[in-house]
Every structure is written in C-alpha cells, then in structure tokens.
C-alpha cells in the first residue's frame, strides 16, 4: 500500500506561490526531481487565479506576496476547496502568526529557512492523508487498484486495463474470498439482466491473468467449474 501511495503522490501537480525567485527555483527543482509536477506563481493575484482553477493537489504559499498575501489566498481558496492541502512557507515565526495561518485553513506551516528534505516529507504526509481519505483502495498480492483515480499497479508499474477489465477486476476484488457466480458477474459488470452467453467472461478473465501476470496455475483468480470465479484472500491464508 505504501508503494502505491508513493507512486500516486509522485504524479501529483503542485502550485508554489513564491515571489523570491531563488527559493522558488530551489523548491521547484527539488520537487520535480522527486517526480512532482510543479507550477510557480510569483505574485498573490496570479497565485489565487491559478489555485482556484482546481488543477492542483497541494498548494505551497509564501505569506508576504505582492498583490495578495498568502493569508488572503488561503482564505479565498478554502471557500471553494475544503480538502486540498495547503502548506505555508514563510519567515513569519511568532506563535500568533502560526495560529493565524492554521486558522485560515492551512494544513501545515514551515518556517524559513527550512531543509528541503523536511519540506518533501511534510508534502508527502499531507498528500498521503488526502489519498487515504479520498481514494478507495483494493489490493491483492502486488496488485493495487485505486477506484478514485482508475489506476491499477503491479508493484511500481502501472497496468493499463480496458474499462471492462477494470470493472471486472474491481468486482472480483470487492468480493475477495467469495465465489462470484457467472450470472452475478454478467449482471454487475456487464449490466445484463437476462439470459446471456456468459463465455465472454472467460475471455476477460484470461486477459486479466495475462496483463497482471497471474497464470491459471497460480490460482489467484480461481475457476470454479460450472459456477464462476473467486479471488482467494491469500493475505489471510498466509
């Protein structure tokens, strides 16, 4: 699970609102080297405009900015987006200023100067919390399926499935440890509520086994002859 969260996190798009070019370049370069996509705004007005676009998974805000302050940006941003993490990067360091930043809606508060490693870990913590709260994860062995992002991973490699393959794998994982009858699969995955040739399921099962590198001998997706299929809850059997 931890591997999936790191994979997903490193594909996220962040917004950095910082008017000091040296700090902005340093932070942007470091984050991009760690797999993030980073866009920079150099003033508060542009920063708020970009933040309200909804394109970003996390905001990094300086406090003192031309045009609008980081506090003003955070306050306006929170009126529209309640769950996207916001971290302040600022030289403001009194207790009252820290409290004000958090009361405005920030999730974290890092005082300048800071170590990049600390910033990186704090970003990951916030994004990981957000993923756990907003994404439903299903897993089996090295396979992890994220319903919210419609992604499937085998270890650290993303596996590209068709919509039907994804829906079938999701259904089997949701029923992990239980036999799924062929008529039930056709009804729930294909949305067919009448007599139908269920042999089409076999074609998609074989395709899933191939893409996920699960052979029929592995018995991960086990065929129950004359009945249907089951994904065994192998984690509980170990």
Q: What are phi and psi of 13, to 5 degrees?
A: -105, 125
Name the strand (E) or helix (H) holding 232.
Answer: none
Q: Above 70 in pLDDT, residue 1?
A: no
pLDDT 10s digits, 151-183? 898 887 889 999 999 999 999 999 988 999 999
Domain 137-237 falls under CATH 3.90.180.10:
no
CA dihedral (28, 17, 105, 76) positive or negative: negative
pLDDT of residue 238: 36
Contact between 48 and 81 (Cβ < 8 Å): no
DSSP E strands, the chain: 13-17, 37-41, 58-61, 86-90, 108-111, 137-140, 143-146, 151-154, 157-159, 180-181, 221-224, 228-231
Nearest alpha-carbon partner for 89 in 68, 115, 67:
115
> Which tokens hold the place of 220?
């991960």
Q: Above 90 in pLDDT, residue 66?
A: yes
- pTM, two decimals, is 0.55
Domain boundaries, the chain: 2-134, 137-237
Select the CATH number that applies to the domain covering 2-134 from these four: 3.30.450.20, 3.90.1300.10, 3.40.50.2300, 3.30.230.70: 3.40.50.2300
pLDDT 10s digits, 99-115? 888 888 889 989 888 99
Q: Above 80 in pLDDT, residue 135?
A: no
Q: Would you tell me how many other CB atoms lie within 10 Å of the CB of residue 74?
A: 24
């Amino acid at each position: 699970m931890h591997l999936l969260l790191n994979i997903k996190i490193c594909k996220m798009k962040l917004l950095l609102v910082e008017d000091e070019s040296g700090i902005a370049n340093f932070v942007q370069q470091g984050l991009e080297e760690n797999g993030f996509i980073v866009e920079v705004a150099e003033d508060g007005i542009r920063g708020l405009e970009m933040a309200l676009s909804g394109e970003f998974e996390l905001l990094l805000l300086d406090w003192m900015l031309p045009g609008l302050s980081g506090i003003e940006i955070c306050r306006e941003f929170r009126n529209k987006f309640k769950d996207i993490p916001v971290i302040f990067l600022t030289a403001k360091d009194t207790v009252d200023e820290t409290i004000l930043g958090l009361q405005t809606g920030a999730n974290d508060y890092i005082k300048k100067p800071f170590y990049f490693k600390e910033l990186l870990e704090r970003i990951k913590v916030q994004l990981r919390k957000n993923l756990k709260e907003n994404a439903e994860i299903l897993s089996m062995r090295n396979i992890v399926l994220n319903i919210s992002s419609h992604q499937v991973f085998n270890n650290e490699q993303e596996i590209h499935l068709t919509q039907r393959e994804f829906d079938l794998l999701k259904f089997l994982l949701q029923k992990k440890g239980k036999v799924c009858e062929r008529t039930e699969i056709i009804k729930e995955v294909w949305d067919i509520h009448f007599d139908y040739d269920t042999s089409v399921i076999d074609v998609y099962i074989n395709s899933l086994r191939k893409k996920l590198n699960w052979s029929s001998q592995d018995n991960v997706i086990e065929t129950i002859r004359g009945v249907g299929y089951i994904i065994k809850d192998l984690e509980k059997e170990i």
